[in-house]
Structure 1
Amino acid sequence: MKCVVQRVDSCKVFIDDDVYSKIDKGVLVLFCAEKGDDYDKIKWFADKCTNLRIFSDENGKMSLSVKDIDGEMMIVSQFTLAGVVKKGRRPDFTGAMEPELAREFYEKFVEECKKVLGDDKIKTGVFAASMKLDILNNGPVTIILQ
């Protein structure tokens, strides 16, 4: 499993040139399930993503989480995070979990994040859809969890 977590001032997901979902201040999480992952990892990743202290406090120190700032979370599935480019120039995506099971992992991850932040604070893309993201990364701050 891999997650890319970005601190954002805003994020919009477009599908067919229409805004599907959007958030203001919070985090964008790009989520990828890989072959061999198990359900136990989902809770760990959800805990990390919702509690990462990547927002600045009154002293400018990164000590607050998205939960602490009452921020929002955008969760987008992205199987391409499983890409490997050890040989050649074309990424090898065979490490990505098969789509039907990956969808279950994605939905379970979203569910676990909602348990921490609440339904109203979580927005998503559409699993396996072709999407465009408009991201205003703040910092930039980007953390890779694997």
Structure 2
Amino acid sequence: MKAIVQRVTKASVSVDGELVSEIKRGLCIFLGISKDDKIEDVNYMAQKVLSIRLFDDEDEKRWMKSVKDLSLELLCISQFTLYHTWKGNKPDFRQAMPTEDSKKLYQAFLERVKTLHKPELVKDGIFGKVRSVLIENDGPVTVEIVSPLKDTKDKAELEEDEK
């Protein structure tokens, strides 16, 4: 599982010109689900997204507070294109999980984030639709989070720990 996380002053998602969701200050999360992802990846990503410290504290000390610490909003958007490879100049999405299975894990991610945070602060777009996303990036701050089982180095370390 992979997430591109952007710190935003505001963000919104529309489908066919209709506003679906919007947030003020918080995080916009583009979530990619690979064909190998499991519920353990969902749990890891939900916890990580809520705990990363991308915000200043009350004394303006940088990188001290998380979205959860400050009770900020999240806009979550599924994005299978994060799991692409290149076939010449054309993207190939065979590493992405098929739609129906992916939808289940995406919904599980949303539910887990809502359980760990305040449900009313967690918004999302419509799964599987072509969406228009407007983001006012704050900073700009954009980071990538990858479930440890997908990172070759971490996977090797985990396997070594199991021995």
Q: What TM-score range do you get, normalising by the shorter chain?
A: over 0.9
Higher mean C-alpha displacement, 110-119 vs 52-61 = 52-61
For 1:126, give the aligned amino acid: I
Identical aligned residues as a percent? 34
SS at 1:91 equivalent: strand
**Equivalent position of 1:61 in the other structure:** 62
Matched, 1:31 2:31: yes
Runs ≥4 residues deviating over 2 A: none
Number of residue-to-residue matches in the alignment: 145
Deviation, structure 1 residue 142: 0.7
Aligned CA-pair RMSD: 0.9
SS at 2:53 equivalent: coil
Deviation, structure 1 residue 143: 0.9
**Equivalent position of 1:134 in the other structure:** 134
**Equivalent position of 2:112 in the other structure:** 112
SS at 1:62 equivalent: coil
For 2:41, give the aligned amino acid: K
**Equivalent position of 2:22 in the other structure:** 22
Matched, 1:13 2:9: no
What is the CA–CA distance in structure 2 between the aligned matches of 1:78 and 1:59, rounded to whole Å? 33
What is the CA–CA distance in structure 2 between the aligned matches of 1:42 and 1:74, rounded to whole Å? 16
Deviation, structure 1 residue 60: 3.0
Q: Which has the higher helix share?
A: 2
1:60-103 per-position Cα deviation (integer Å, ceiling 9, x unaligned): 31110001111000000000000112x41111100000110000
Deviation, structure 1 residue 36: 1.0
Of structures 1 and 2, the larger Rg is shown by 2
What is the CA–CA distance in structure 2 between the aligned matches of 1:139 and 1:125, rounded to whole Å? 24
